[in-house]
């Protein structure tokens, strides 16, 4: 049988987000805080849909949750920004913050339209494929000012979306775009969310509809598909589609999404609005995350002296906060040491009681608690040595006592021995009584017979 050739396994390219030193894509939480209306809740879901896939689309907030709870989890999950929607009696607001140190920008929502509102405003129903949301959208900033507030806004919005590398990007990933336009007159920011589509040029509209599987519904007057293609019935008007010209027609360098959009083909680029649509105004910029020094405020303007006084007050608050934190840490450390001391005392008392019990059991003498408490040792074996030493001294005392007792008992024995010797001498002087001859017992004499031959043979074997 021929040998099977080993198929080489193709090495897949590593994920840029996992390569050491590579810049990861930004991620964000879109949240709601406080009591909000139903429209704000739906706007939150639309913003999550717009920020996909770099957001938590199914994140749920509880009423007891505060912003600090999400900030704690932002680090392990790699979340870089937070978008928080809230409502007050004066209007609805959107706060965009950079974690974990800020800055924080607060925008007031002037008007907004949901995804459902944008879809309902169109003449024809538009369906969006789920593949549109696989890749993150690209950001386009238009007409942002060059002052300090404008630079901070543009920097924050640019860091909110992934960076685009024109040399390495793929056209198939360009599915959505977020457009932000700043108006110098009204100081409003208009946010729009579009889908990027391409329509191949140089091909009749009917062929494009047939390739895209979008035939009109009024085909009852034609007998065959050829009649529709030749324009003998059921023709569509030119107003149904967008007029294409040289401004939005490009030659593709890579394959693009859509029927006929191959490399080298001339394609007309179109934008279809998805939503949401938001018009908002910048109100305040703060230095830290959800607080800190106010760098910009739209309605409150202060003099340099007032700014200096506020800076001084903020510095005092910061120092006071640090002092309280250090005091709190010192108190915690103090309580920890007191607990450890109490615990060590309890363990020492237990060791003393245990060793006293062992001492009384081994030595047989009642233990003195002060002796064990005065011994400065840390291990039980030192208590054992102390007890052993006391035991040896006790043995020595016992030995001396035993010697004394032996001497006493020796004297008594000598006295008893002298008395016994005198009694034996007296007995020797007395004449011994003569024993009367006893008569022989005939039964015993009969039992004393000579051994048989069998017994003699056994005795001989035993001697050998």
- 33 burial level (CB within 10 Å; 0-12, 13-18, 19+): middle
Which two structure tokens, joined as six digits, stand for 67? 């912003």
Instruction: Please state, in angstroms and rounded to a whole number, the distance separating the CA atoms of residues 60 and 45.
Output: 11
Instruction: Please state, in angstroms and rounded to a whole number, the distance separating the CA atoms of residues 365 and 358.
Output: 10
pTM here is 0.61
- The set of residues, in sequence order, having a beta carbon less than 8 Å from that of 430 and lying 6+ positions away, is none
**Cα-based angle 129, 130, 131 (whole degrees, multiple of 5):** 90
Give, for 152, the enclosing helix (H) or strand (E).
helix 148-160
Instruction: Please state, in angstroms and rounded to a whole number, the distance separating the CA atoms of residues 199 and 205.
Output: 10
Per-residue pLDDT, 433:
55
Candidates 154, 160, 211, 131; CA nearest to 55 is: 160
**C-alpha pair distances (Å), 74 with each of 98, 156, 273, 410:** 11, 17, 31, 94
Per-residue pLDDT, 242:
47
Residue 58, Ramachandran bin (φ over 0: left; ψ between -120 and 50: alpha; else beta): alpha
Give, for 109, the enclosing helix (H) or strand (E).
strand 104-113
| SS3 label, residue 99 | coil
Per-residue pLDDT, 21:
38
- The set of residues, in sequence order, having a beta carbon less than 8 Å from that of 309 and lying 6+ positions away, is none
Per-residue pLDDT, 180:
95
Which two structure tokens, joined as six digits, stand for 317? 């608050």
Per-residue pLDDT, 437:
56
- The set of residues, in sequence order, having a beta carbon less than 8 Å from that of 16 and lying 6+ positions away, is 22
**b/e per residue 280-319 (b: at least 16 CB within 10 A):** bebbbbbeebbebbebbeeeeeeeeeeeeeeeeeeeeeee
* Count of Cβ atoms closer than 10 Å to residue 123 Cβ: 6
Q: CA dihedral defined by 181, 183, 184, 185, rounded to 10 degrees?
A: 180
Candidates 183, 176, 226; CA nearest to 206 is: 226
Instruction: Please answer whether residues 71 and 152 qualify as being in contact, where contact means their C-beta atoms are separated by less than 8 angstroms.
Output: no
For every one of its 464 residues, what pLDDT tens digit does the chain have, with 9 covering 90 and above? 455 555 555 545 444 444 433 458 899 999 999 899 999 999 999 999 999 999 998 898 888 888 889 999 898 999 999 999 999 999 999 999 999 888 999 999 999 999 999 988 887 766 666 788 888 999 999 999 999 999 999 999 999 999 888 788 888 888 899 999 999 999 999 999 998 887 777 665 665 665 555 556 666 666 666 666 566 544 443 333 445 556 667 777 777 776 667 776 777 788 889 989 999 999 999 998 988 888 889 988 888 888 888 888 888 888 998 999 999 999 999 888 888 888 777 676 677 777 777 777 777 777 666 666 555 444 444 555 555 555 555 555 555 566 566 666 666 666 666 666 655 555 555 555 555 555 555 555 555 555 666 667 777 777 75
Per-residue pLDDT, 307:
82
Which two structure tokens, joined as six digits, stand for 84? 């928080």
């Amino acid at each position: 049988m021929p040998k099977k050739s080993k198929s080489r396994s193709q090495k897949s390219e590593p994920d840029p987000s996992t390569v050491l030193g590579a810049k990861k894509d930004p991620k964000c939480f879109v949240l709601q805080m406080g009591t909000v209306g139903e429209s704000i809740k739906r706007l939150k879901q639309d913003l999550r849909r717009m920020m996909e896939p770099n957001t938590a689309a199914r994140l749920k907030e509880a009423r007891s949750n505060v912003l600090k709870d999400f900030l704690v989890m932002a680090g392990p999950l790699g979340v870089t920004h937070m978008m928080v929607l809230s409502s007050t009696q004066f209007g609805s607001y959107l706060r965009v913050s950079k974690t974990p140190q800020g800055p924080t920008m607060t925008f007031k929502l002037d008007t907004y339209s949901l995804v459902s509102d944008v879809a309902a405003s169109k003449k024809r129903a538009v369906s969006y494929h789920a593949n549109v949301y696989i890749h993150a959208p690209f950001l386009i900033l238009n007409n942002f000012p060059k002052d300090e507030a404008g630079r901070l806004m543009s920097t924050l919005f640019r860091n909110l979306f992934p960076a685009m590398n024109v040399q390495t990007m793929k056209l198939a990933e360009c599915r959505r775009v977020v457009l932000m336009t700043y108006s110098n007159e009204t100081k409003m920011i208009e946010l729009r969310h579009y889908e990027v589509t391409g329509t191949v040029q140089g091909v009749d509209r009917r062929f494009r509809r047939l390739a895209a599987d979008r035939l009109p519904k009024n085909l009852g007057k034609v007998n065959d598909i050829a009649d529709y293609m030749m324009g003998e019935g059921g023709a569509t008007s030119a107003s149904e589609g967008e007029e294409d010209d040289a401004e939005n027609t490009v030659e593709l360098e890579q394959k693009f999404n859509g029927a006929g959009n191959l490399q080298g083909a001339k394609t007309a680029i179109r934008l279809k609005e998805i939503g949401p649509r938001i018009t908002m105004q910048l109100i305040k910029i703060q230095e830290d995350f959800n607080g800190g020094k106010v760098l910009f405020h739209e309605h409150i303007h202060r003099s340099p002296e007032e700014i200096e006084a506020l800076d001084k007050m903020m510095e005092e608050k910061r120092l006071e906060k640090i002092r309280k934190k250090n005091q709190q840490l010192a108190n915690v450390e103090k309580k920890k040491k007191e607990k450890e001391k109490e615990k060590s005392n309890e363990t020492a008392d237990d060791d003393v009681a245990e060793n006293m019990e062992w001492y009384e059991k081994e030595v047989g003498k009642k233990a003195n608690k002060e002796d064990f408490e005065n011994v400065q040792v840390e291990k039980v074996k030192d208590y054992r040595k102390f007890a052993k030493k006391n035991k040896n001294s006790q043995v020595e005392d016992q030995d001396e006592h035993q010697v004394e007792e032996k001497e006493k008992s020796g004297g008594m024995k000598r006295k008893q021995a002298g008395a016994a010797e005198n009694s034996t001498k007296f007995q020797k002087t007395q004449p011994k009584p003569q024993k009367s001859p006893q008569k022989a017992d005939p039964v015993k004499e009969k039992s004393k017979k000579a051994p048989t031959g069998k017994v003699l043979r056994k005795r001989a074997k035993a001697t050998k």
